[in-house]
Amino acid sequence: MDELFRIPVGKWAETGLDWVIANLGAFFDGLKAFFAQFYNALDWVLSTPPFWAVIIVLAALAFWLKGWKLSLGTILGFLLIYGMNQWDNAMDSLALVLVASLVAVVISVPLGIASAKSTTVSNIVKPVMDFLQTMPAFVYLIPVLLLLGIGPVPGIVATIVFALAPGARFTELGIRSVDSEVVEAGQAFGASPMRILRQIQIPLAMPTIMAGINQIIMLSLSMVVIAGMVGAGGLGGAVYSALTGLNTPLGVESGLAVVVLAIFLDRITASLTHAKKHVSA
């Protein structure tokens, strides 16, 4: 069937990417080095100690935040990961998720605050977040691979881009949901806008902000398998190997390890949210 007209959006994107590669190569080389060092350092911290030492630390964290039930579940879950011979892969994936989540939080929370403070910023940020969240994750991998090559770094960057949206959205929602009378009371006492933000709005909005951070972590973990396709390794690489080789045992074991990590991270961040609620109360 003949086309009435053709809009070469793809060619325009390719031209723009070629320009970025030609003119901003040094910047992306530095970005790659930064993320690689960050990831390698955290991966070393998680992978170097004996598995039982890491489990004790994680279980102690779970006990401190939630109690003995989560602590016991943490011990059993991570022992299962070790017993399935997925410990190294799980630590690699946990390091990737933590790096991507931390960077996504550092970017998205200030964006959400700026959006809550300015309608103009909000009108700009919202469609950008819509675009990032609805664009298929595989599409991110094409420019990221061209700019950053193979390895964990492109997986980290693609994960950051994919996970940004909920952090910005929830932060804006939390700040805007703060009772206006409380803000007006602060203004009446002569508090500056920055002090009102720091001492009134952010503390009261913290449960909502923490819910957004929880979503960032969950979305980051959902990108583990896709990151494995670009050489990031970890559980994503194991799942991808199982898929390409039709290896059912490996697929089940690596998939279960992802589930254990997801439950642990979800419960930990949920516990932090409840802790923040008690503090604000």
Mean pLDDT of 60-66: 85
Alpha helix ranges (H) inside the chain: 9-23, 25-47, 51-65, 68-83, 87-117, 119-134, 137-148, 152-176, 180-188, 193-196, 202-222, 224-228, 234-245, 248-280
State the chain's mean pLDDT as an integer.
80
pLDDT at 281: 44
pLDDT surpassing 70 at residue 134 = yes
- Cα torsion at 202, 207, 212, 214 (round to 10°)? 130
Residues 6+ apart with CB under 8 A from 7: none
pLDDT at 9: 74
pLDDT at 239: 77
Percent of the chain residues topping a pLDDT of 70? 94
List the one residue out of 170, 279, 252, 277 whose CA is nearest residue 217: 170
pLDDT at 207: 83
pLDDT at 5: 67
Map tokens 């910005």 to a residue: 168
User: For the chain, what is the radius of gyration of the CA atoms?
Assistant: 21
pLDDT surpassing 70 at residue 280 = no
Query: Each residue of 46-57: pLDDT tens digit?
Result: 888 888 888 888
pLDDT surpassing 60 at residue 1 = no
pLDDT at 136: 74
Query: Each residue of 82-122: pLDDT tens digit?
Result: 888 888 888 888 888 888 888 888 888 888 888 888 888 88
**pTM (2 d.p.):** 0.82
pLDDT at 278: 46
Query: Which of the residue ranges 37-46, 133-142, 150-159 would you say has the lowest mean pLDDT?
Result: 133-142
Tell me the C-alpha distance between 125 and 27, whole Å.
24
pLDDT at 65: 81
Check if the beta carbon of residue 272 is closer than 8 Å to that of residue 210: yes
Banded model confidence at residue 262, pLDDT cuts 50, 70, 90: confident
Query: Each residue of 190-240: pLDDT tens digit?
Result: 767 777 777 777 788 888 888 888 888 888 887 777 777 777 777 777 777
pLDDT at 275: 52
List the one residue out of 62, 57, 60, 58 whose CA is nearest residue 271: 62
